[in-house]
Amino acid sequence: MGIHTKSEFYDVEGWLRNTDGPPLREVVAIGAVEGKSLVHLQSHFGMDTLRWARAGALVTGVDFSPAAITAATALAERAGLSDRATFVCANVYDAPAALSNERFDVVYVSIGSLCWLPSVDQWGEVVASLLNPGGKLYLHDVHPNALSLDDSGERTFYSYFEETSDPLVADGPYTYTDGEGLKALRTYEWNHSVGEIVMSLISHGLELDSLVEHDWTNFRHFPWLVETASGEFVFPVGRPRAPLTFTIVAHAPQ
């Protein structure tokens, strides 16, 4: 966790100084959150969660890493948002019980989340059981097509589908941020196709509002991506484009 909280990628000190709320595209999709309840699944050390507290929501972050929960709680204090933010240490699959079956106006999931979960169907069930009637899910994550490519981004290496319970295993000394010192060198990930993700929501009763595939991401997923002035990573001019991330908005029926 220390590698991430100290990284230039996350720039915690800059985040504390500039007091930005959530990205405009997320505010447009989710709408006004003043006084609403929002639960962030896999909240990491809370930066994405606390942007919603800055926008007036009462936020709850859930993550199974005790270090992430400690860092998120400390960040909320430093940002003066402790009165609107709670962080709970739990596996996402146990979130309904860990949150005493509380329901929320918004379930929020930000980039870098679904790939750590073995079953997207079970995740969809959790999302459905956390939403108030009429409540919204907002999910922005890495596109499974991009996750099926090797590190060079040149060829398909991993399965696009969840289909098998075997995880994708990768070895390496770095995380996706700058900084060194990673102690656990092996990571296990699971890919979930767009169809599997959409059906995990529909089959648990949610209604789909939008599914948008994006030709940009917010980290250097592949060496050849070009960084724009606004910090997005895009295809170089002339290279055929494919989806790098995607956004789903869905809601629970009234």
Ligand X SMILES: C[S@@+](CC[C@H](N)C(=O)[O-])C[C@H]1O[C@@H](n2cnc3c(N)ncnc32)[C@H](O)[C@@H]1O
Q: How far is the CB of 164 from ligand X (least distance, A)?
A: 18
The residue count for binding ligand X (CB under 6 A) is 16
Q: Which of 162, 241 has the CB closer to ligand X?
A: 162
Minimum CB separation from ligand X for residue 121, in Å?
14
Q: Is 42 in the site for ligand X (CB under 6 A)?
A: yes
Which span (72-80, 111-119, 228-236, 237-245) binds ligand X, by CB under 6 A?
A: 111-119
Q: Is residue 112 at the binding interface for ligand X, with CB under 6 A as the rule?
A: yes
Contacts 24+ apart (CB under 8 A), 74-83: 75/12, 75/45, 75/46, 75/47, 75/50, 76/46, 76/50, 78/16, 79/16, 79/19, 79/50, 79/53, 79/54, 81/50, 81/53, 81/54
Q: Which of 29, 68, 106, 252 binds ligand X (CB under 6 A)?
A: 68
Rounded Cα distance, 239 and 254, in Å? 44
Residue 250 found at the interface with ligand X (CB under 6 A): no
**Cα 219 to Cα 216: distance, rounded to the nearest angstrom:** 9
Closer CB to ligand X, residue 43 or residue 252? 43
Strand ranges of the sheet holding 233-234, from the earlier edge strand across to the other edge: 216-217, 233-234, 226-227
Say whether 13 sits in a helix, a strand or coil: helix
Residues 154-183 that bind ligand X (CB under 6 A): none
CB of 105 to ligand X, least distance (A): 20
Q: Residues 122-151 vs ligand X: string with x where CB under 6 A?
A: ------------------------------
What is residue 156's DSSP assignment? B
Closer by beta carbon to ligand X, 60 or else 110: 110
Q: Using the minimum distance from each CB to ligand X, give the nearer residue, 87 or 133.
A: 87
How distant, in Å, are the alpha carbons of 6, 28, 78, 88 from that of 16? 13, 23, 8, 22
Q: Is residue 182 a contact partner of residue 198, using CB atoms and an 8 Å limit?
A: no
Of 27, 74, 88, 111, the one binding ligand X (CB under 6 A) is 111
Question: Quick check: helix, strand or coil at residue 171?
Answer: strand
Closest CA to 9 of 185, 223, 175, 222: 175
- What residues from 47 to 66 belong to the interface with ligand X (CB under 6 A)? 47-48, 63-65
- Tell me which of 36, 44, 136, 251 binds ligand X, using CB under 6 A: 44
- Interface residues with ligand X (CB under 6 A) are 42, 44, 47-48, 63-65, 68, 91-92, 110-113, 116-117
